[in-house]
Structure 1
Amino acid sequence: MARAGLTADRVTKAAADLADEVGFDNVTVSALARSFGVKDASLYSHVRSLHDLRSRVALLAAGEMIDRIALAVAGRAGREALAAFAHAYREFALEHPGRYAATQMQLDPAVATASVAYRRTVETTYAMLHAYGLAEPDLTDAVRLLRSTFHGFAGLEAAGGFAHPRDVRASWERIIDALDGTLRNWPSAAARPQD
């Protein structure tokens, strides 16, 4: 057997699939090797370490996630773009919990900077927010608000944290409305008195 036709890309994809099954933190070189029916050493010709493997999964997942988001947002602006972005984000997080967890991994700054997926994420996010007319530092603050809201909601939902009988989707839509209102009425940092 030619090591099950292993390549770095095939190993990374298998690790991402395994992450969705068992959780990103439970992905190990040994578990992945077992899934291919090979010894751990066979994988080390394709990945340098567990950290390298997890970084590769993070980059793969970031690319898959931004592909979905960019497709959803294309041709939309304002609340419609915000809603499309939010829905695509939440759906990816719920459908691919291991991959989504990988996107939260703190990558080496040089790796993140060189990543096309990470650059596309920033570009797509800023383009979606363009209709709101925000400038720095408000733009960065708005991105942080959206990311923490989307991440928090998806994490709580995935963990079964919404036990109230109100429909979760209805709450999600109201949150998008609230975010849209906040973004349209964002208090400019330039207009606030400095301490």
Structure 2
Amino acid sequence: MPRAGLSHDAVVRLAVEVVDEGGASGFADLTLAKVAAKAGVAAPSLYKHVGSLADLRRDVAVLAVRDLTAAGTAATVGRAGADALRALAEAWRRYAVEHPGRYAATQIGPDPDDPADAVAREVAAESVQVVVSMLRGFGLPDDRVIDAVRAVRSSVHGFVQLELGGGFRMREDVDRSFGVLLDMVVAGVAALAEPAAAGSPR
């Protein structure tokens, strides 16, 4: 039965439901036909509210990034240094496990030159700023901050992707292994803050 009162926001929320129901591949498999079926309307009816599938995918990604940013912000409030880094990484992992489809949507980097990606760029910048603020607690020099952001993100993302994809089948505790990864990441970030790492004499 068609849903009354469809709007742009309602269509995006329905798309998020489709993404969630699709698991880890939910975002990649998102189509207007699936959203229309959930709304109980014909696919062409959605064009009253969204311009294209690309636009809808962008809107879902914006929502997902905002969700992940909020989770990271809440996790790091009142924390600093290694404690904040661990809390942020654990929040990312928890979000990915609970919302694998949405998490996949957060990994799509906005085009730096496309006007249509203006909101996505703004939301992505807010997400990065959470990480930057956390890393400031390590006393990193300015020219090492983005290196550290990328290293932290790629380390946690790599672990999460393997976990979601069933890549950890040995009997050893996965949570313990994640803790070891975070020990290594913390040590690496701390090393970047050392004078020698910044190119200055000890």
* TM-score, scaled relative to structure 1: 0.92
Query: For the structure 1 residues 119 and 12, does the alpha-carbon distance in structure 2 shift closer, same or farther, using more than 3 Å as the test?
Result: same
Higher relative contact order (CA 8 A, sep 6+): 1
Aligned-pair CA distance for 1:4: 2.4
Indicate if the aligned counterparts of 2:36 and 2:42 stay in contact, CA closer than 8 A: yes
Which consecutive residues of structure 2, in runs of 5 or more, have no partner in the other structure? none
Q: Which secondary structure does the structure 2 equivalent of 1:154 belong to?
A: helix
Which position in structure 1 is the counterpart of 2:74? 71
Aligned-pair CA distance for 1:190: 2.5
Q: Which secondary structure does the structure 1 equivalent of 2:137 belong to?
A: helix
Bigger fraction of residues in helix: 1
Which position in structure 2 is the counterpart of 1:154? 160
State how far apart, in whole Å, the 2-side matches of 1:7 and 1:114 are: 19
State how far apart, in whole Å, the 2-side matches of 1:5 and 1:108 are: 32
Q: Which secondary structure does the structure 2 equivalent of 1:156 belong to?
A: helix
| Percentage of identical aligned residues | 41
Supply the AA of the counterpart residue of 2:11. Answer: V
Aligned residues: 192
State how far apart, in whole Å, the 1-side matches of 2:179 and 2:32 are: 40
Indicate if the aligned counterparts of 2:65 and 2:124 stay in contact, CA closer than 8 A: yes
State how far apart, in whole Å, the 2-side matches of 1:87 and 1:63 are: 17
Aligned-pair CA distance for 1:139: 0.9
State how far apart, in whole Å, the 1-side matches of 2:191 and 2:39 are: 53
State how far apart, in whole Å, the 2-side matches of 1:103 and 1:177 are: 25
The match for 1:132 among 138, 142, 154 is: 138
State how far apart, in whole Å, the 2-side matches of 1:26 and 1:139 are: 35
Query: For the structure 1 residues 143 and 111, does the alpha-carbon distance in structure 2 shift closer, same or farther, using more than 3 Å as the test?
Result: farther
Q: Please say which of residues 48-57 and 22-31 is displaced more in the overlay.
A: 22-31
* TM-score, scaled relative to structure 2: 0.88
Q: Which runs of 4+ in 1 moved over 2 A?
A: 1-4, 106-117, 187-192
Which position in structure 2 is the counterpart of 1:98? 101
1:19-168 alignment runs, 5 A limit = 19-22=19-22, 23-109=26-112, 110-115=115-120, 116-168=122-174
State how far apart, in whole Å, the 2-side matches of 1:146 and 1:28 are: 32
Alignment RMSD (CA, Å): 1.8
Aligned-pair CA distance for 1:189: 3.8
Which consecutive residues of structure 1, in runs of 5 or more, have no partner in the other structure? none
Aligned-pair CA distance for 1:168: 0.4
Indicate if the aligned counterparts of 2:155 and 2:185 stay in contact, CA closer than 8 A: no
Q: Please say which of residues 83-92 and 111-120 is displaced more in the overlay.
A: 111-120
Which position in structure 2 is the counterpart of 1:173? 179
Aligned-pair CA distance for 1:112: 4.9
Supply the AA of the counterpart residue of 1:52. Answer: D
Query: For the structure 1 residues 111 and 129, does the alpha-carbon distance in structure 2 shift closer, same or farther, using more than 3 Å as the test?
Result: farther
State how far apart, in whole Å, the 2-side matches of 1:73 and 1:111 are: 31
Q: Which secondary structure does the structure 2 equivalent of 1:24 belong to?
A: coil
Indicate if the aligned counterparts of 2:81 and 2:135 stay in contact, CA closer than 8 A: yes
State how far apart, in whole Å, the 1-side matches of 2:33 and 2:104 are: 20
State how far apart, in whole Å, the 2-side matches of 1:113 and 1:124 are: 19
